[in-house]
Amino acid sequence: MADIYEIEEIDGVRFNWNAFPITRAEAENIATPIGCLFTPLNAREDIPTANYDPQICRRCRAILNPYSQIDLASKTWTCTCCLSRNQLPSHYTNISVENLPIELTPQASTMEYVLTRSQPPPPPVFLYVVDLCQDLEDLKSLQECLINSLDSHPPGALVGLITFDSVVNVHELNFKTCLKKYVFSGNKEYESLQVQKQLGILGNGSKSWIQQCESGKGTINKFLLPVSDQASKDSIINVVNSLEVSKWTVHHGNRAIRVTGSALSIASCLIEGSFSQCAAKVTLFAGGPCTFGPGTIVGTELKEPIRSHSDVDKGSAKHYKKSVAFYKKLAAKASEL
């Protein structure tokens, strides 16, 4: 077990299982799904660095790593994620057991690449999705945390904000005259193009972030602002400070109407319509379960208990099948952005 803890310390990663199922029967009988906790920006002094681009699997886009199988005779490597065979480039011709590139050495389970492309990479996007159905004290604490987090983002990072209760609000962060937001129904599953058209960003997803910065009319400077710019940071702080607890009445014996699924779906549409090669992280701050619209996992009446793991196993969970289908579809879409 000491070896596992040492690996966790090096990479800042912990899985709930030390070994993965290798047969269909093992996968079906597993008690809990495979999950992973990781430490963002994990501090480490001896990170291996390569001054060239990573080798990417042509099928699933995974990266060549120490766990990949290498065929030195045919100069190919097998992806650990999808088992596809990929050709090694010409500058890997001389590799051998004694002469391995950095990314195949054991210490390269975590590493950094200095990319060779001349155009700077697009900035990372951090999109906050905030549930307004919570106590005032909790919301005030969350507002403080969100504002403090702005200084923790990498230089040049872009930040956006979506809030929700029974509707979904996409906040325009740089509107000077007043606080402005676009409101979407929480009971409807929108197509991505519908959302982008309503937000006025249709077609921006195919444009580079540099083009949008130069034009001043893109998704950047409207829904996504750079935290490195003080004026933009002040605008974000102003909008976050203006957030209020949901004013929708919650009757006795009922849960709040919370459209979490719709909010996450709208978030994916915003990212898709941002700029080409957008790398984004959506962070959800939820005060309870989704009770309305796509992705509902429990009804609004408190007399309806939230499903347990045994309910899922027995197939007696009321909303399970529809919600799983919705979130699987959303996950597939997000992974392709």
Give 276-288 pLDDT, tens digit per residue.
778 889 999 999 9
pLDDT for 104 beyond 90: yes
Dump pLDDT digits (tens) for 217-244: 666 778 999 999 899 999 999 999 999 9
pLDDT for 1 beyond 80: no
Mean pLDDT, residues 91-107:
89
Bridge partners of residue 283, in order along the sequence: 128
**Residue 212: pLDDT band by 50, 70, 90 thresholds?**
low
Dump pLDDT digits (tens) for 165-202: 999 999 999 888 889 999 999 999 999 999 999 998 88
> How many other CB atoms are there within 10 angstroms of residue 18's CB atom?
8
User: Radius of gyration over alpha carbons of the chain, in Å?
Assistant: 23
pLDDT of residue 78: 95
Residues 211, 218 contacting (CB under 8 angstroms) = yes
- Detail the DSSP E strand segments found in 73-205: 76-78, 85-87, 112-113, 125-131, 158-164, 167-172, 180-185
Average pLDDT of every residue of the chain: 89
**Max CA-CA distance within the chain?**
73
Separation of alpha carbons 202 and 115, rounded Å: 30
Question: Where do we find the tokens 């190919």?
Answer: 76
pLDDT for 337 beyond 90: no
Residues 6+ apart with CB under 8 A from 89: 55
**Residue 3: pLDDT band by 50, 70, 90 thresholds?**
confident
Percent of the chain with pLDDT over 90: 52
| Token reading at 300 | 């609004």
Q: Is 278 helix (H, G, I), strand (E, B) or coil?
A: coil
